[in-house]
Every structure is written in structure tokens, then in C-alpha cells.
């Protein structure tokens, strides 16, 4: 099991994946937004590291094709956007289970922002940042539970008061790991929470 959970910076990625590796790139979380420039920038930076991207269109492709694509890559990269919409779409096609199975077989999972949040126990606390109304069919706020905590990305910025609100409301039942944008978590087990640099 290997997970690299990012906030924003991608600097830690080359140290955990060989140059030339094929990355299954899931940009689903950006679909609710008109401006998806942030996703294009992520693609460009990953390519600049020497990686090849295989687009994994969760909303548009069949479950069998998605399974084939995920099986054929060296790592899975789940990019940022709306956390609730992302998890809804993954569940609709069973991609959540595919990810869990492949990570259990030691395929590297890389999450960025929303992609990091879904790896944890619950996505409910980030409703102060993302709109749950974009995911009317979600049903449950349970995350993929690959790590035993909730990742809170983008810590230390202008929204500091919102992080404090989250901890007051949920701190008695959920564990949080807060990440600044130049940090990441590298986890080899469900309870690992090693914070590393990722400028």
C-alpha cells in the first residue's frame, strides 16, 4: 500500500514514481467548474516530470474500460475540484472499489486536494469548502477509508477560521491531518501520517 496525498504542490511526486511511468489521470472533480485551468496546470506539470498521462474519464467511460485503464497504469492520480461530485461519480461506476483493490496490490495512489480528502474516513467536513449540492446522488459522506483520518488540504491560508470551525464541529469523532500547500502525506499503511515536503 502506497499513498501520496498532496495539498497543491506536486514536488514530492517524482521521488515516488519513476520517470516515464504511466499515470491514470482522473480529473472528474473539476467537472462542476467552468474554469478548469488548475487541472490543465496539473497535467502540464506531471508531463514536465517525464510522466505519461492516461486520461481516465470516470463520468464518460464504461466501467469495463475504466477497469482496463486503471489496471494498465503504474499509478492513479486523482486531481482536485469538488470532493462531493468526485466521490459520487467514482461510486456510480465502481471506480472507488477499483482504486481500493489496486492500492491494496501496491499501486501508487496520488491524490491532490479533493483526491486526498476522499482517501480518508469522511468527506463531510469539507462541505464548508465544496458544495455538496453538486452531488445529489452521493448518498453517504464516507470516504474510501484508505487512511484512518481526514486530510484537510490548503491549511494556513486565508480560510483559517473555517479550519477552526471544522475542528470544533467534528473534532470529537474524526481525526484530522492538516496539510499546507507545500506539504504531502506519504502513507504505507492506513495509520501512517508522515508529512513530507511537496513544493
Residues 178, 170 contacting (CB under 8 angstroms): no
Q: If you average pLDDT over residues 89-95, what whole number do you get?
A: 98
Per-position b or e across 13-42, b if 16+ CB within 10 A of its CB? beebbeeebebbbbbbbbbbeeebebbeeb
| 116 DSSP assignment | H
User: Is 116 annotated as catalytic?
Assistant: no
In this structure, what CATH number is given to the domain that contains residue 116?
3.40.50.880
Flag whether the pTM goes above 0.75: yes
Grid coordinates belonging to 102: 489496486
Q: pLDDT of 154-184, one tens digit each?
A: 998 778 899 999 999 999 999 999 999 999 9
Comparing CA positions, the residue from 62, 60, 55, 77 lying closest to residue 3 is: 77
Whole-number mean pLDDT of the chain?
97
Catalytic one among 7, 112, 116, 154?
A: 154
Catalytic one among 113, 116, 122, 198?
A: 113
Q: Which domain holds residue 78?
A: 2-197
pLDDT for position 158: 79
Strand-pair category, 22-26 with 150-152: unpaired
Residues 82, 135 contacting (CB under 8 angstroms): yes
With bands split at pLDDT 50, 70 and 90, how would you rate the model's confidence at 84? very high
User: Is 140 annotated as catalytic?
Assistant: no
Domain count, the chain: 1
Amino acid at each position: 500500500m502506497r499513498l501520496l496525498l498532496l495539498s497543491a504542490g506536486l514536488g514530492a511526486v517524482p521521488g515516488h514514481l519513476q520517470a516515464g511511468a504511466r499515470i491514470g489521470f482522473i480529473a472528474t472533480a473539476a467537472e462542476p467548474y467552468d474554469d478548469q485551468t488548475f487541472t490543465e496546470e496539473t497535467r502540464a506539470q506531471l508531463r514536465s516530470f517525464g510522466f505519461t498521462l492516461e486520461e481516465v474519464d470516470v463520468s464518460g467511460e464504461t466501467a469495463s474500460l475504466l477497469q482496463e485503464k486503471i489496471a494498465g497504469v503504474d499509478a492513479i492520480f486523482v486531481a482536485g475540484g469538488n470532493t462531493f461530485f468526485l466521490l459520487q461519480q467514482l461510486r456510480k461506476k465502481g471506480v472507488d472499489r477499483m482504486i481500493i483493490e489496486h492500492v491494496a496490490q501496491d499501486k501508487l495512489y496520488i491524490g491532490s486536494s479533493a483526491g486526498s480528502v476522499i482517501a480518508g474516513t469522511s468527506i463531510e467536513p469539507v462541505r464548508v469548502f465544496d458544495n455538496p449540492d453538486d452531488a445529489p446522488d452521493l448518498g453517504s459522506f464516507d470516504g474510501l477509508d484508505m487512511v484512518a483520518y481526514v486530510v484537510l488540504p490548503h491549511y494556513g491560508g486565508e480560510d483559517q477560521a473555517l479550519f477552526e470551525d471544522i475542528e470544533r464541529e467534528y473534532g470529537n469523532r474524526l481525526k484530522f491531518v492538516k496539510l499546507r500547500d507545500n506539504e504531502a502525506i506519504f502513507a504505507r499503511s492506513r495509520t501512517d501520517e508522515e508529512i513530507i515536503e511537496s513544493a
